[in-house]
Amino acid sequence: MNAPNQSGWKPGTPVSGDFGLDSGPQTVTGNRALLLEEPLIFELGGTDTTGVDLPEPAADAANRLGGFERTETIGLAGLSEPETVRHYTRLSRQNYGIDLGFFPLGSCTMKHNPRLNEKVARMPGFADVHPLQPVETVRGALEVINELAFWLIDLTGMHSVAMSPKAGAHGELCGILSIRAALEARGDAREVVLVPESAHGTNPATAAFAGYRVEDIPTNEDGRVDLEALKARLGPDVAAVMITNPNTCGLFERDLKAISDAVHEVGGFVYCDGANFNAIVGRVRPGDLGVDAMHINLHKTFSTPHGGGGPGSGPVVLSEALSPFAPLPYTARTADGVVHLVEEEQADEFAREHFGGPLHHFGRMTAFHGQMGMFTRALTYMLSHGADGLKQVAEDAVLNANYLLRSLEDVLDAPFAKAGPCMHEALFSDDGFEADLSTMDLAKALIDEGFHPMTMYFPLVVHGAMLVEPTETESKASLDQFITALRSVAARAKAGDESMKAAPYYAPRRRLNETAAARKPKLVWTEE
């Protein structure tokens, strides 16, 4: 592990004792070479200057502010264009991003975003489309939405898809509201949603927000849903089971078909959290496993990682039983080949004419039709990869995760390493660390090694959890870098290296008091 890998990178030896950025001579500016001490924008310039020259308004100019004139100075520093650009560029260099290095956040699928997708999303007709344009002027955009919808239906083996939800949790709510509408349509007032311990944390929150009482289902020793405990709890009061597959222990729920059959037998529905679809896309169709509703994070599985330029997108695929209760609007291609956007005003008439009867939509999830930027990126990603390429995405993601798991299980406790291959992510615990060292200390030390830490303390079924998702876009060379760094800090944690408690040493900021930062945040700048 200490030899240079394919990238030519060779790890150094961890340093102990008194070290850090302050060990060298002090500088007048507070800068450390390229590590710049950037002040707040309020502190850069004076409020008596401005970066632009504007003519004084004419004395007889009409006032069109309607009573909203400013009554006091705004208090912003007046900066020139170079000063402004430099300020934000310097700030951006202090932030970690996917274009700088490996982003190993578990269950978040932070993978490289192909630049082709960005180019397509910025094409005229997509980037400048407005939701209030007449439908006749946005036929191309509707074609994109409709084409993407069919890809999602094909890949999941489901019956229909609601495209408008803006993110994962929004999609969850869409699925649960569809289930509620279906139950109400048959006069069935059920009150309980079952959520396994291995599910995502948004699942119980969504069910509670929708008015259901949430009950937990335990995880077995293999990190999967306890099937017998689930069956024992099923009854006429259970509206749905919300299950994450692959789950947050990084494992495939191999009993999902049996779970679906048992839930359907008592009249309930199965909601699947599709945030981890990246691990099975092209390999497994959730519809074949009895799933009734599942959201798909376009901003995870089909490029555009979190923070990718705006809202996410969480379309929800639905089974035939739930399709009549999907929200509005939706796109539909008629016999003449035209794609229509079906809104509330024409929904019933359109359904009678083209589907033989009215549908029972529960209403809208959001204004307008979804997130166009995400739609174009996702469809570009799909068309670039093709069916075989999307299958390889899942295979490579799983291969990378298992490479990490097997390369680290001798230095980090991997509680489910013997439960079979992991899927998209590898799960470790803090078992074996010296008593006064924690997962947090390891994560901070990993920052000094030049890596963003993995997801920590989640899932809750593992003490001191460390959840690592490499995705398919990381090369073996970059994984070897990360493995070497993580092996080093893990060895230090097990050896009781006290210097870890003050890490990071080399980041733009030293360790914060996170409790005070959360409970007493300073969010407003005030002049001294």
pLDDT at 357 over 90: no
- pLDDT of 4 reads 39
pLDDT at 5 over 70: no
Asked if the peptide bond before residue 504 counts as cis, ω within 30 degrees of 0, the response is yes
Comparing 2-16, 253-267, 318-332, 497-511, the range with the smallest average pLDDT is 2-16
* Residue type at 15 in one-letter notation: V
pLDDT at 411 over 50: yes
The pTM score is: 0.88
Mean pLDDT of 197-212: 92
- pLDDT of 53 reads 85
- pLDDT of 528 reads 67
Parallel, antiparallel, or unpaired: how do β-strands 316-318 and 160-162 relate?
A: antiparallel
* N residues, the chain: 528
Mean pLDDT of 272-291: 96
Per-residue confidence at 355, pLDDT binned at 50, 70, 90? low
| Span 126-143, pLDDT tens digits | 889 998 999 889 999 999
What is the rounded CA–CA span in Å between residue 400 and residue 390? 16
Instruction: Give the CA distances from residue 354 to residues 333, 343, 372, 386, in Å, rounded to whole numbers and listed in that order.
Output: 10, 15, 26, 31
- pLDDT of 51 reads 82
Instruction: Give the CA distances from residue 45 to residues 29, 75, 83, 307, 528, in Å, rounded to whole numbers and listed in that order.
Output: 16, 11, 9, 30, 15
pLDDT at 48 over 90: no
- pLDDT of 12 reads 43
Per-residue confidence at 10, pLDDT binned at 50, 70, 90? very low
Rg for the chain (alpha carbons), in Å? 26
Instruction: Give the CA distances from residue 82 to residues 51, 78, 286, in Å, rounded to whole numbers and listed in that order.
Output: 10, 12, 52
Mean pLDDT of 415-443: 95
pLDDT at 509 over 50: yes
